[in-house]
Structure 1
Amino acid sequence: MNTLLLGVVGSNAYGLAHADSDVDRLGVFAAPAVAFHGLRLPIDRAATVVEHDPDVTMHEARKLAMLCLSSNPTATELLWLPSYEVGSPLGEELVGIRGAFASADGVRNAYFGYATSQFKRLLTTGQFQSKMRSRRSKHARHLLRLLDQGYEYYATGRLTLRLADPERYREFGERVAADPSVARAALAAAEERFAATRSPLPAEPDTPVVEAWLLRVREAYR
């Protein structure tokens, strides 16, 4: 596999990991350009490779770019890690153009929108209600993280993955696990913050910059 970039993401990147936490890795690879001329193209589901023990998710370069252009929180965090286990020249170029992927509405909708949808599931479906308390607590922690990180990204154009006060998120998770309605106040406060802030992010991503990078990847891996 032509790995361009690989790093540790998830709870270990946020500072929320505990002794039993898995170490999750996320990366981007380049499929050979000739693969895009066959019957089974390396796109959509075929563009993601998931392995376990250890847990690694790899997205093909085009798919990772498309996910980041929509400000997908899970994919976007790969571009904002403080260090990488694998960093090829093209991977370093990708990190260097990370600002090209963001747009004001895209970030707001991806982070605040996703957190809102997760909260609604927490309240209205049995999927989370039927899980053990620790599972509900974890979902709540990450809901608050998405709200805070999304707002920082929206308000400053930068994304900090390491949480300054991990205990705050753990405490929030425990409170929401006991009473999911507690999360309503956090969502309302986040909605007010987003509405009151003028983002420095552009109205649209800089897709020509992203496409130029992807074409360099295709040229390098014919």
Structure 2
Amino acid sequence: MQTLDTREADVEVDNVLLAGIVGSTAYGLATPESDIDRLGVYAAPTVAFHGLHPPIGKKASKVSTDPDVTFHEAGKWAHLAMSCNPTASELVWLPGELYETRTPLGDDLIAIRTAFLSAGRVRDAYLGYAVSQFKRLENRGDGSFSADTRKRTAKHARHLWRLVTQGEQLYATGRLPIRLDDPEGVRAFGERVADGAIEEARERLAAAEQRFDEIRTPLPERPDEDTVERWLHAVRAAHYAEPAQRR
């Protein structure tokens, strides 16, 4: 049984299949004050799905916020990845040195990472998340706010830039880049927006929407559900044990 060392996080996770460092550290945007975020996939015992309270929905995620650690059960992660959720998807595209736990089933998951992709969902997910970041920026006003709010505003602006950049490249190439090419430029963009340059963020988002319209994507119309299903069946078979007999 693979058990994660969660580094003092208030979460215990057994049967970890794949885990790594994500967030600002992975993107190349970390500062000395940045937390180290971790993300992973685990397998619930197969017999747990046969009872009255299967590990699905909210019960299929184990989360700690101090530090930030999120683990999704394999089935839930698969559904998130097939919706091209940017936060979940990046786990299978990390540089090798950022993985902290890799198992054979985790390696199999990395090997089929393109099976989760589809053109419409990539566009909708990355642009959708970027739009949500922009709305947060709009609600923060013209830059005349507290230092703490300014810090959060700069962070939202950086995430907007990252999402449209990663989304465009994934849509154009079928591969998700994790580390950003120009982290200093992204930080500078965040600071300008935090100073009140909301229009620059609006223009960045509009330009991304136009580029998505212009790109001829190699991505398929639908994810490869058969491949994903075979992987999930392998996970369930590997974690099946006869249920204990009750007297």
- Give the TM bin, normalised by the shorter chain: over 0.9
| 2:168 aligned residue | 151
Match of 2:86 in 1: 73
2:177 maps to what in 1? 160
SS of residue in 2 equivalent to 1:4: strand
Shift of 1:20: 1.1
For residue 98 of structure 1, what is the aligned residue in structure 2?
113
Is 1:4–1:87's contact at 8 Å kept on the other side of the alignment? yes
Report the RMSD for the aligned CA atoms in angstroms: 1.6
Note if 1:169 corresponds to 2:186.
yes
Identity fraction in percent? 60
Counterpart among 200, 203, 218 of residue 218 in structure 2:
200
2:206 to 185, 188, 206: 188
Equivalent residue, structure 2, for 1:4: 17
Q: Secondary structure at the match of 1:205?
A: coil
Task: Provide the C-alpha distance between the structure 2 equivalents of 1:162 and 1:61, rounded to a whole number of angstroms.
Answer: 25
Unmatched runs of 5 consecutive residues or more in structure 2:
1-13, 241-247
Residue 138 of structure 1: aligned partner: 155
Matched, 1:221 2:239: yes
| C-alpha separation in 1, matches of 2:164 and 2:109 | 25
Q: Is the 8 A contact 1:4 1:30 kept in 2?
A: yes
Deviation of 1:144 after TM superposition, in Å, equals 0.5
Give the alignment of 1:105-124 within 5 angstroms. Answer: 105-124=120-139
Task: Tell me the matched-pair count.
Answer: 221
Show CA shifts across 1:30-89 (max 9, x none). Answer: 000000011211011000001355432110000000000000000000010012111000
Query: Aligned equivalents of 1:97 and 1:40: distance in 2?
Result: 30
* Structure richer in helix, relative to its length: 1
- Distance in 2 separating the partners of 1:7 and 1:121: 28
Deviating above 2 A after TM superposition, structure 1's stretches of 4 or more consecutive aligned residues are 51-55, 128-131
**Does 1:88 find its partner at 2:103?**
yes
Structure 1-normalised TM-score? 0.95
Retained in 2: the 8 A contact 1:123–1:181?
A: no
Q: Distance in 1 between matches of 2:164 and 2:66?
A: 30
Amino acid at match of 1:37: H
Measured in 1, the distance between the counterparts of 2:205 and 2:60 equals 34
Larger radius of gyration: 2
SS of equivalent to 2:203: helix
AA at the equivalent of 1:74: T
User: How far is 1:143 from its partner?
Assistant: 0.6
> Do structure 1's residue 22 and structure 2's residue 22 form an aligned pair?
no
Query: Is the CA contact 2:136–2:156 (under 8 Å) kept in the aligned structure 1?
Result: no
Which structure 2 residues correspond to residues 32-43 of structure 1 after superposition, within 5 A?
32-43=45-56
Q: Output the TM-score relative to the length of structure 2.
A: 0.86
